[in-house]
Structure 1
Amino acid sequence: MPITRELFIGGKDVPAASGRTTEDINPYTGEVYATVAAAGPEDVRRAVDAADAAFEEWAALAPFARRAIFLKAADLLDARGEQVAELMANEAGGTRPWAYFNVALAANMLREAAAAVTAPRGEVLNAQEQGALGLAVREPLGVVAAFAPWNAPVILGVRAVAAPLAAGNTVVVKPSEDAPLACGLLVADVLREAGLPDGVLNVVTNAREDAAEIAETLIADARVRGVNFTGSTPVGRIIGEHAARHLKPAVLELGGKNAVIVLDDADVDYAVNAAVFSVFMNAGQICMSGDRILVHESLAEEFTQRFTTKVASLQSGDPGDPHTVVGPLVAASSAQRVASLVRDAVAKGAKVLVGGGEPEGAVHPATVLTEVPKEADLYHAESFGPVCVVESFADDSTAITLANDTENGLTCGIITENATHGLAVARRIRTGIVHVNDQSVADEPHAPFGGAKASGYGRFGGRWGIEAFSNTRWVTIATQQAHYPF
């Protein structure tokens, strides 16, 4: 029997006001895995009502009491590995290693949020008036609208709410229609069990056809004072426009067209392993996935032979099989989208080194291309699937030019045994994140995470997340009476 879940508003599980529901489909089997409530605008307003009512008390709660909730939630989440593995396999086709990685990182994000609650915040300012004291104080925004995506559902579901809550805000989260349990309701369940007060976090699930209306209603509500979105660049542009129209700050973490650069002093075996992980973890459905592997011409032949051999050996298919590396994409339509990018590239002159062909349902074969021309859609578009392009370069400047030849700027990996060489290249890469002697997929809960250019703006992680979801307020204290001219 499919799982049945309702909305989570004001600490209670409640049906949509209309009584409507929507189906959550298993991408590998095509069967209904869960049925969730399909919210309408009236439900969004109910959720904001609850968040607004809870804000003052939550913001005033002693920091040590708030910290205890996050620490307990982290331990509770750590204990739910098996549940998360089942959820992620059935909702989004996630493999078991990917699910357990989600649990571990998300739990540490909650622990980092706990640390942030009691971290020093604000500054003492010099004042021009004699005997006056100035303070720059960080204060919460109020109600935050959060949007959580499906691809790393527990990581990004926790990230959608952890920093805003730690800063003292209350949150209404709209989880993805493709993983409403893992990236929304599961997170709420864990925090509820940890003692989060009613109304501080609210979850509004919706039918796919209502997504735009739900998002616009949520952002337009005058009581919502900040927006937190992780997702694709096209949708992020829309969310950013809505936030700007209502003069609300937004943090947008969007898509990437990421490169892994293998310099001439790289260890080839290490470079192959790093690149395979970067491209094919979670079937390439990570914003940080390596779309382009750029290899120095002196290593290109050896690297490409070893890389394609390893890619050809990757097991694909059932996400429940512990040996599966490349599981299904989130939907059969996503696999067809990736296949169309490959077909277009081949029709315009690209060569297939491994894979290609038609997907089986939502499973697309691990694919490596080369000689993809600029007029091919794949040259510019984020593949968001188990596909990459391998190209060679003659010198560092050419590699940097190729890596920067995209409207996106999220992350980059530079493989080298010479850190000085790697850092010199890294300084010229236009991304929000760059990893020297590592691949492009990496995330740490205390580090500033975010992109440049069309990959978004704002930063998650550590103090940067707290700053993103709080205001700086100037407060002065006069220790003596002022003299006025009239």
Structure 2
Amino acid sequence: MQLLKVDSGGLPQGDAQSSARMAEAAVDRAASAFASWSAWPVQERAGVLREMAALLDQRRGELYDLAAQEVGASRSWVDFNVDLGRDILFQSASLAGALADKEINDEKTGKRSLIRRQAAGVVLGMVSWNAPITLGVRAVASPLICGNSVVMKGSDFCPRTHQHLVDILNSSGIPPGVLNCVVSNSDEAHDTMVQLIGHPCVRRINFTGSTRVGREVAIEAARHLKPVLLELSGKAPLIVLEDADLDAAAQAACFGAYFNQGQICMSTERVIVVRSVADAFVAKLAACTRALSTPSADAKPVDLGRMISPDAAQRVKSLIEDAQSKGAHLLAGGDVDADVMQPALLDGLASNMRLYHEEAFGPVAGIMRVHDAEEAISIANDCDFGLSAAIFTQDTALAQSLADRLEFGVVQINGPTVHDDPAMPFGGMKLSGYGRFGGESTIHEFTELRWIAIHEDPDHPDF
């Protein structure tokens, strides 16, 4: 059994050495490459990232079968991943100007201050399986433009996909050793994580995955006083107010709940609709949901992909059965065939049901009918997680005031909960983590902020 594999660039492979030694070798290699890479002019680093984006686009076909075999990804989901990954690389390259020193002159004292963003060192990026290409690129792109070298710990669910992604990125003009990949078997994943975090050359950490594992990462990082960016679990609500465009809201809820079998941290799991329009809206959403399983004769079938495992599908099935046993009505779907579940829609979700509280991470959404916007906000916030939310209403001023009260890092107004923009800060509140990917916020995450003062006309203080 292979214990660990790292990218092909001189690092040891196979089971001749322990996971700990191989993980250490990956960080050592990244540390050796750091000084040279961080000294590259930032515009030249940007050029490498733009080359990576072009290569990812050109070689997307190499990822279709790998992602399908390992995590059940549909072709449309791989394309979505590649397109967003390409955009992340281009956007990260555009940050070059924001990394320039800022100068502040104090005419009174003759002091000149430089505010500098300086590369931190080796960045460890730990990546989830559910959006393997997007999340892999996101874990490395911003650290690289900031001048850091990177070790990406791929998921044990899709080691070949993550390995090949790094191989594609490394076929650009990036120097050897700057970008590395470590993948371990599931029984070694925790020990490998501990080893990587504890390496003295690792200076920054980012992790995308479940809150359960994220808590372990945070604890381990705290032992070493290392900053960590955590993007964790979600349970996104979509609120439908009485003046909403019901067709648009139903389409957004359907897309947000079932794309990639609902295995997205931003997936719509709770649909909260005011009673005055609930019947009409629920009829539209139920029809949209049923059409995914049984499209009309003139409609193109939708490939939603597979769930990560039959056990995952059975877990979601148990959430549905628990909700039904406590009064919820199954309006569509829910049938399971191994690792494929038909998109499921439940009406009458209530707080005594597991589905109300637990992240399903599968193709199921629950509907709650409420009196007004005030009750909708209260129910939306009654959740441990706070990553993504959506509000549908034609009153955008009202929507903005409600968004201010939602305890979620990202709020979409008249758009689906599953939406990302690499130029915008993305991250959660509460148990959905802390720190932000996207835009200039990533510069804060992956650099040291330094103040360098130059005293042009020094006036030394007296004792």
| Higher mean C-alpha deviation, range 129-138 or range 334-343 | 129-138
Match of 2:24 in 1: 45
Q: Is the 8 A contact 1:311 1:366 kept in 2?
A: yes
Match of 1:312 in 2: 290
What does the per-residue CA deviation read over 1:341-370, in whole Å, with 9 as the maximum and x for residues that have no partner?
A: 11222223322111234x211011211112
Match of 2:262 in 1: 284
Match of 2:297 in 1: none
Following the alignment from structure 2 to structure 1, what is the Cα–Cα distance between the partners of residues 167 and 310?
A: 30
Match of 1:338 in 2: 316
Q: Structure 1 residue 483 and structure 2 residue 460: aligned?
A: yes
| Closer/same/farther in 2, CA of residues 361 and 417 from structure 1, 3 Å limit | same
Following TM superposition, by how much is the alpha carbon of 1:431 offset from its aligned partner in structure 2, in angstroms? 0.5
Following TM superposition, by how much is the alpha carbon of 1:180 offset from its aligned partner in structure 2, in angstroms? 1.8
Match of 2:325 in 1: 347
Q: Secondary structure at the match of 2:244?
A: coil
Following the alignment from structure 2 to structure 1, what is the Cα–Cα distance between the partners of residues 4 and 58?
A: 24
Q: Secondary structure at the match of 2:23?
A: helix
Pick aligned residue for 1:145 from 106, 119, 124: 124
Q: What amino acid is the match of 1:325?
A: D
Pick aligned residue for 1:271 from 246, 249, 268: 249
Following TM superposition, by how much is the alpha carbon of 1:86 offset from its aligned partner in structure 2, in angstroms? 2.0
Following the alignment from structure 2 to structure 1, what is the Cα–Cα distance between the partners of residues 197 and 23?
A: 10
Q: Structure 1 residue 18 and structure 2 residue 16: aligned?
A: yes
Following the alignment from structure 2 to structure 1, what is the Cα–Cα distance between the partners of residues 434 and 419?
A: 18
| Higher mean C-alpha deviation, range 444-453 or range 473-482 | 473-482
Listed as ranges, the matches of 1:208-287 within 5 Å are 208-287=186-265
Q: What amino acid is the match of 2:424?
A: A
Q: Structure 1 residue 95 and structure 2 residue 93: aligned?
A: no
Q: Which structure 2 residue ranges, 5 or more long, are not aligned? A: 295-299
Match of 1:169 in 2: 148
Q: What amino acid is the match of 1:481?
A: P
Match of 1:70 in 2: 49
List structure 1 runs of 4+ shifted beyond 6 angstroms.
none
Following the alignment from structure 1 to structure 2, what is the Cα–Cα distance between the partners of residues 452 and 325?
A: 32
Q: Is the 8 A contact 1:261 1:293 kept in 2?
A: yes
Pick aligned residue for 1:381 from 358, 362, 366: 358
Q: What amino acid is the match of 1:70?
A: L
Match of 1:23 in 2: none
Q: Structure 1 residue 132 and structure 2 residue 111: aligned?
A: yes
Q: Structure 1 residue 390 and structure 2 residue 367: aligned?
A: yes
Q: Which structure 1 residue ranges, 5 or more long, are not aligned? A: 21-39, 317-321
Listed as ranges, the matches of 1:295-310 within 5 Å are 295-310=273-288
Q: What amino acid is the match of 1:64?
A: Q
Following TM superposition, by how much is the alpha carbon of 1:7 offset from its aligned partner in structure 2, in angstroms? 3.0
What does the per-residue CA deviation read over 1:113-141, in whole Å, with 9 as the maximum and x for residues that have no partner?
A: 11113434443345597211112211111
Q: Is the 8 A contact 1:11 1:192 kept in 2?
A: no
Following TM superposition, by how much is the alpha carbon of 1:397 offset from its aligned partner in structure 2, in angstroms? 0.4
Match of 1:361 in 2: 338
Following the alignment from structure 2 to structure 1, what is the Cα–Cα distance between the partners of residues 10 and 242?
A: 58
Q: Is the 8 A contact 2:125 2:205 kept in 1?
A: yes
Q: Is the 8 A contact 1:415 1:439 kept in 2?
A: no
What does the per-residue CA deviation read over 1:385-405, in whole Å, with 9 as the maximum and x for residues that have no partner?
A: 000101111111001001111
Q: Is the 8 A contact 1:315 1:326 kept in 2?
A: no
Match of 1:442 in 2: 419
Q: What amino acid is the match of 2:34?
A: F
Root-mean-square deviation (CA), in Å? 2.0
Q: Is the 8 A contact 2:4 2:185 kept in 1?
A: no
Return the TM-score normalized by structure 1: 0.90
Q: What amino acid is the match of 2:76?
A: P
